[in-house]
Chains A and B, each alone.
Chain A
Amino acid sequence: MTLASSALPRKGAGTVSSAAARTARRRELLNWVAVHSLAIAAALFFLLPFVFVFLTSVMTDQQALTSDMWPHQWQWSNFGKVWSTPGFLTWWRNTLLYAGAGTLLTIVSSLPVAYALAKFRFRGRNLALMAVVSMMMLPPQVTVIPMYLFWAKQLHLTGSLWPLIIPMAFGDAFTIFLLRQFLLTIPKEYMEAARIDGCGELRTLLRVVLPMAKPAIAAVALFQFFYCWNDYFGPQIYSSENPGAWTLSYGLESFKGAHHTNWNLTMAATLLVMAPVIVLFFFAQRAFIEGVTLTGVKG
């Protein structure tokens, strides 16, 4: 309790009568306790699933089916077993390729568009912006049938990662939208100064805007990477007909299919799919949270 109360902000003790100050402090203390108890309860809700998943992932497969929650013996080899499952490395590599190439292409193709929408004045700009928002909100299932036929029948590229990666070279609506929101906040004077120095628009973008937009670009890159990493629908439609082109999300599901009741292995695999995203988050936490804020507040 002493520890707790010492964390409380102290009010000027001398000016208020001591009895009133005591009630005020008691109320604040109660408040503090209530808030932090709630926070701890919420933290349990958010974190316990991870704990259970982790504990299960190191159990024996027999114990994973029982209600005992603490592993009798810590079977770390589960992770090795998952890692050496045929295909797991391929899924891993494919996911990295999809997420890596996808993110890179998205940024390169979206930044100029966002810049034009934020800083150029042209007729139809608002119309274009509305189109971007509409694309952003479109459920992928609406267009999936013609798109699948397009990739399958015209280009014969289904069963590979190309139908997932190539579209990223043509701008991603969400990325365009977020980058534009950020670019709006850069004062015009910077661009004008660059222009007076004789820079073309492309050079202005690369020399002046790009360095200033680094945090926003980092945020949208993370978003895009996570989107690709987590994507299930895209791989299910376009690449699943060739096991060599499966990604982790799709493979994880089939992993469960092949290991019906080995919950321990399934949970170990689940953790291995979650891990990179979470590690990446810890490295880039600030950029990420700023990015999320950008989606809501400016909208």
Chain B
Amino acid sequence: MALLSSTVPPALRSKRRRERARTLAFLSPWLIGFCVFFLYPLVSTVYFSFMKYDGFAPPTFTGLKNWDYVFTKYPFFWKGLGNTLWLVVVMVTLRVVFGLGIGLLITKVKSGAGFFRTAFYLPYLAPPVAATMAFAFLLNPGTGPVNHLLGEFGLPQPGWFTDPSWSKPALTLLAMWGIGDLMVIFMAALLDVPTEQYEAAELDGAGPFQRFRYVTLPSISPIVMFAVVTGVIQTMQYYTQAIVAGKVASGVIGGSGQQFEPGYPHGSTWTLPQMVYNLGFQRFDTGSACVVAVILFAISMAFTSILLRRKSGFMTED
């Protein structure tokens, strides 16, 4: 590799030039996409975070005003950050634990495995808007079947999407319903654990829990890690379910024209991505929206770098 250019014979040099052109040609669609749909908007987002711009009149420079506003004068920012944190801690954890549990279950099922696999996987496919709409109906406090069933058994009937302390748990339930992606990943990882290790552990007198703790977990831990990190990044983008649930539950959707209370009920489903939408496309405060976008970028980049650091998975050694 450390060849000096002077020692490279002309034939090889022209071959390399051809190779370079070829590489560039193969990469070109993505290179353009990278510039136009990634690099440019990123730079531009930072630029607009220092501008006052309402999407109509020409933008003007305002220095740090937008940043000051978002951090010190815009209480909804901290509320949204808090909700996002809640979702990261509770929703991601529960999803990973539940996904692992369902993955384990499916590897143990002996009869009707195909049926169960499909049944467990199916909800993941439901389009998010449709799934959220369905859950808003199922969990509708007054008339939905879930509360009706809970009532039959004499259990408490929460307000779900209409109660600030139950709306995030309801969203978590929805996220656990669509566990299919994690189930398949965990299932594949569990089947990859060498059976000899289990047999050896069993000979040593290890019970099922010990086997799980000392054999299964260590060998699937990279996948658990992967599920957690991608889960966190997905949560940073968590948007559709939260906004649709809020709109449907508050009854303010579509053309009904009433002022939608963002994050209904009482800001409990208000997340960072919704903030970008609300500030940018409802309040038309493009500058502040870009401030939030930059923050969102910084957080998701931090987690992405965890993935990137695990080079072995992505990079090739050859």
Contacts and interface: CB of A to CB of B under 8 A. Distances in A.
Given A141-B277, A169-B29, A133 B314 contact: yes
B27 to A, nearest CB: 5
Given A274-B130, A277-B125, A232 B226 contact: no
B111 interface: yes
Interface stretch (B42-50, B62-70, B164-172): B42-50
Contact of B19 (A122, A145, A260, A292): A122
Given A144-B293, A171-B29, A297-B189, A131 B34 contact: yes
Interface in B100-143: 102, 105-106, 108-112, 115-116, 118-123, 125-131, 133-135, 137-138, 140, 143
A112 B118 CA distance: 33
Contacts of B126: 274, 277-278
A140 interface: yes
A4 B223 CA distance: 34
Contact of A171 (B22, B30, B145, B280): B30
Contacts of B19: 120, 122
A67 to B, nearest CB: 4
A80 B304 CA distance: 46
Interface string B198-231: 0000000000000000000000000100110010
B281 A46 contact: no
Interface string B137-158: 1101001010010000000000
A113 B110 contact: no
A67 B143 contact: yes
24 contacts: A36-B112, A49-B177, A52-B134, A52-B145, A120-B22, A126-B315, A128-B27, A134-B38, A141-B276, A142-B294, A142-B296, A145-B45, A145-B293, A146-B48, A171-B29, A226-B125, A249-B127, A249-B130, A250-B129, A256-B133, A260-B256, A263-B143, A273-B129, A274-B131
B34 A143 contact: no
B190 to A, nearest CB: 11
Given A141-B277, A230-B127, A270-B133, A50 B293 contact: no
Given A39-B105, A115-B26, A298-B313, A143 B37 contact: yes
A16 interface: no
Size category of the binding interface on chain B:
35 or more
Contact of A256 (B26, B37, B239, B254): B254
A273 B130 contact: yes
B127 A296 contact: no
Interface residues of A, number: 101
B300 interface: yes
Interface string A265-299: 01100110110011001000100010011011111
B181 interface: yes
A32 interface: yes
Nearest to B16: A122
A69 interface: yes
A244 interface: no
Given A45-B177, A232-B128, A252-B129, A129 B119 contact: no
A184 interface: yes
A253 interface: yes
Nearest to B35: A170
Nearest to A168: B33
B184 interface: yes
A46 B123 contact: yes
A43 B116 contact: yes
B122 A46 contact: yes
Nearest to B42: A143
B38 to A, nearest CB: 5
Contacts of A273: 127, 129-130
Contact of A167 (B33, B145, B177, B240): B33
A43 B119 contact: yes
Given A53-B134, A137-B304, A285-B118, A116 B23 contact: yes
A229 interface: yes
A248 B294 CA distance: 30
B292 to A, nearest CB: 8
A250 B116 CA distance: 32
B27 A50 contact: no
Interface stretch (B86-94, B244-252, B261-269): B244-252
Contact of B130 (A129, A236, A252): A252
Question: Which one of B30, B48, B276 has the greatest number of beta carbons of chain A within 10 Å?
Answer: B30
